[in-house]
Amino acid sequence: MSLNGKVILITGGTGSFGKKFTEIVLKNYHPEKLIVFSRDELKQSEMRQIYREDDYPSLRYFIGDVRDKERLNRAMNEVDYVVHAAALKQVPSCEYNPFEAVKTNIIGAENVINTAIDNGVQKVIAISTDKAVNPVNLYGATKLTAEKMFTQGNSYSGEGGTKFSCARYGNVVGSRGSIIPLFKKQKEKGILTITDKRMTRFWITIEEGVKFVIKCIETMKGGEIFVPKIPSVKLVDIARCLAPEAKLKFIGIRPGEKINEVLVTEEESRHALEFKNFFLIEPEFSWWKKPVYQGAKKLKEGFRYTSDTNDWWLTKEEIKSMLSQ
């Protein structure tokens, strides 16, 4: 299955993921339409300077908010695939503005699900995060709720209806609000702040994330949570590679922050499969018809996929290469 000839809508289309998704789809595929759906007219205007409709006749820009069900309903007319990337994701902002986080990340998800079903969309893939696993902050809790809504959304669409799945992965290199832009800014003053020297994170580039999501669209049957195998990194190592002469200041863990991240829990591993490059968490629903996958194997009892016990770590050379991109 390919994106060629399909009508694709991406929510949050002017964000870091959305822009890279647009770039890769326009470069490698020939969709009938690619609809960039977002609420920020300035970002859309800036994106138009790079991807003009005159140069890319399949491209459309829709102003809209996932909170607005009526606008979503109009935007999804005759759409084949939806990539749901719109979210409020800054942890401190979500903690301070909890109602707003719920409106976008939960009510917005409900609106995407309902309008996709009502318009006969074939597939919807929602972008999730490691913060949704055993959440300790509101952002993670809203994304956990959204994951449950999207997997359960298949019960609302019924057999032969819209298929819903999730792609769950770790921190994205260089995305807005990530640690690298912060470190680069702090480097100018010679002091980099780290909450805890033990802290580890899963790491993935935006391009890798986009390509993984496209693969998920091609693979999904509806109800799965896809988790890529990605490397871990110590935040201390990132800081030392980025600014070897700078002083490191440890300021203590913030509210709602974890020392290490989890992408697959022990409970999930009981109904998960391992492939060469990813894990697939199968839904625990009576309607799930287990496909026969080539190259899949069951996980061992008690398996957990965590950033501190990962067997794949970025070397300092790889970190430096990543930072130079």
The single residue of 6, 20, 89, 131 carrying the catalytic annotation is: 131
Long-range contacts of 93-96 (CB under 8 A, 24+ apart): 94/137, 94/138, 94/139, 94/142, 95/137, 95/138, 95/139, 95/255, 95/256
Q: Which are the contacts of 306, defined by CB distance < 8 A and separation ≥ 6?
A: 260, 261, 262, 263
**3-state class of 116 per DSSP?**
helix
Q: Could you tell me the two tokens for 232?
A: 């871990």
Q: Could you tell me the two tokens for 142?
A: 């809203």
Q: Enter the DSSP assignment of 105.
A: I
Q: Are 164 and 113 in contact (CB under 8 A)?
A: yes
CA within 13 Å, CB half, 139 = 19
Catalytic site includes residue 297:
no
Distance of alpha carbon 168 from alpha carbon 140, whole angstroms: 12
Geometric angle at alpha carbon 300, from 296 and 303, rounded to 5°: 110
Active site residues: 131
